[in-house]
Amino acid sequence: MPAPPAFLINPILMKIAFHGAARAVTGSKHLITLKDNTKILLDCGMFQGMGEKTEQLNGYFGFNPKAITYVILSHAHIDHCGLLPRLVAEGFNGTIYSTPATMDLARILLMDSAKIQMQDAEYENRHNHDQKDLEEALYTEDDVVKTLSLFKVVEYNEEFNISPHVKLLLTDAGHILGSAAVHLQIKEDGQTSRITFSGDVGRYGDLLLKNPQTFPQADYIIMESTYGDSLHKDLEPIENMLLEIINHTCNIKKGKVVIPAFSVGRTQELLYALNGLELEGKLPNVPFYVDSPLSIEATEVLKNHPEVYNNGVKKVLQVDEDPFSFKGLKFIESVVESKALNNDPRPCVIISASGMAEGGRVRHHIRNTISNPKNTILMVGYCAPGTLGGKLLAGDKNIYLFGDDYEVKADIRSVKSMSAHGDYEDLLRFLSCQDPAHVKQLFLVHGEYDVQLNFAQRLRTTGFKDVEIPKYHQEYDYKTEPAWST
């Protein structure tokens, strides 16, 4: 009597499910389930800038946190790591793998995020007069402490066995300090599957960081696509653009330049570029402020990891021991000092978080400057369409802040090439080490759907035949090759 066909004896080998950053930019969560029920979660990010849906999205994982075996973190941005403490609070107790620098950044970013969650809940409850349905923070500082205890660091380019059947390799993605592309080699039932998750891919020729690395051939690729239909090429170098904007605003119009900048990555690039202007004797003689305690901490973390610097930074270090400091720069920590900036009419440059202007002190600075044509709001990174930064970049003439409407009269400028995300040329270059004929499936994540459609078409013309754009919570099953078994 012949043996039954393979499809009758549990043919499922592996599943990949997309529980965040699916046809959207934020909330990175991609779950790989193996035949033995090992569950590997790639990132555990917070949704940001999704309007009224944001709270609901952050409150529902789409899977059981207690069932997750491992988490592998690509980098420390909140939309990639920001729900880790929530995962732990709901029962996850496995290992979290990351690079050493990512763990150092995650420590300060997650603790800051916990403070925000707790403050937001306290504010809502203080204004909830009937004291019904009290708000709870997504997580607390205690949850962050427990989360950090679960981290295990893995160096770049060192193959690591996370289980007898799974090997992990992290390569430099060039996005922010510590960012990595994740490569898994999974062996089941005598078959080997190689999965690459790009994380967020940086730019080639970044001001501070090394270029994204090449990586081994993959069978399946989970690929970011934030700028899959854009080019970041500016007409002039970043330093020249900063010089022109600051001179025109501060010295000619006698106004202020407000720069919403992510605490990690963008702020340090700005400081490095401004320091370069000082080394050339071109830096305008105006006060410069970094008004973000988190940015100050992140800058110190970067200084502690010089191994990530590219050759250009190493060359500067030969003549300048601190490439992130220059004349006229002051770091603002206290709320009192921050408020004083808004009452000071003198021209200055204020760099403040958050990068999308969705929270933090920068919103107060924007409120104070947005309706005066002397001032400039300078955007230097990606902003999701629904965020305040996204609305300013889209040309909105009125904005709503702190319960009031404000007319937009300040200049709104942007420096495209300061994005930490690679454009479509960078993304294609990142994939150029792969033979498309050997890639069984390529998934596009971390992008707006219309952008992904355009990038998918571009990928198909370069030889990637099966390009998928997963929906939120969509799952893909992979079966063994048909075979007889006794």
The dihedral sign for the CA sequence 106, 111, 116, 117: positive
The predicted structure's pLDDT at residue 160: 96
Query: What digits encode the pLDDT tens for the residues 450-459?
Result: 999 999 999 9
The predicted structure's pLDDT at residue 8: 44
What is the rounded average pLDDT of the residues 67-87?
A: 97
The span from the CA of 483 to the CA of 3, in Å, is 10
Q: At what angle do helices 141-148 and 100-126 cross, to 10 degrees?
A: 160
Would you place residue 483 in the very low, low, confident or very high pLDDT band (cuts 50, 70, 90)?
A: very low
Which residues lie below 8 Å from residue 347, measured CB to CB, with a gap of 6+?
249, 250, 251, 254, 255, 256, 286
Would you place residue 129 in the very low, low, confident or very high pLDDT band (cuts 50, 70, 90)?
A: low
What is the rounded average pLDDT of the residues 436-458?
A: 97
Q: Which of 439, 440, 430, 435 is nearest to 224 (CA)?
A: 430
Whether residue 234 is predicted with pLDDT greater than 90 in this model: the reply is no
Q: Bigger pLDDT: 129 or 323? A: 323
Whether residue 401 is predicted with pLDDT greater than 60 in this model: the reply is yes
Beta strands in 306-397 (DSSP E): 329-332, 348-352, 376-379
Both tokens assigned to 33: 């389930």
pTM: 0.89
Query: What digits encode the pLDDT tens for the residues 288-344?
Result: 999 999 999 999 999 999 999 999 999 999 999 999 999 999 999 999 999 999 989
Give how far Cα 274 sits from Cα of 97, 255, 282, 303, 327, Å: 35, 18, 9, 17, 10
Whether residue 235 is predicted with pLDDT greater than 60 in this model: the reply is no
Would you place residue 132 in the very low, low, confident or very high pLDDT band (cuts 50, 70, 90)?
A: low
Domains of the chain (ranges, CATH numbers): 6-230+420-479 (3.60.15.10), 238-418 (3.40.50.10890)
Query: What digits encode the pLDDT tens for the residues 353-391?
Result: 888 898 889 999 999 999 999 999 999 987 878 889 999
Which residues lie below 8 Å from residue 370, measured CB to CB, with a gap of 6+?
377, 399, 401, 406, 407, 408, 409, 410
Q: What is the DSSP string of 436-461?
A: GGG-SEEEEESS-HHHHHHHHHHHHH
Q: Which of 309, 409, 326 is nearest to 369 (CA)?
A: 409
The predicted structure's pLDDT at residue 424: 96
The predicted structure's pLDDT at residue 381: 81
The span from the CA of 408 to the CA of 397, in Å, is 5
Whether residue 7 is predicted with pLDDT greater than 70 in this model: the reply is no
The rounded mean pLDDT for the chain is 92
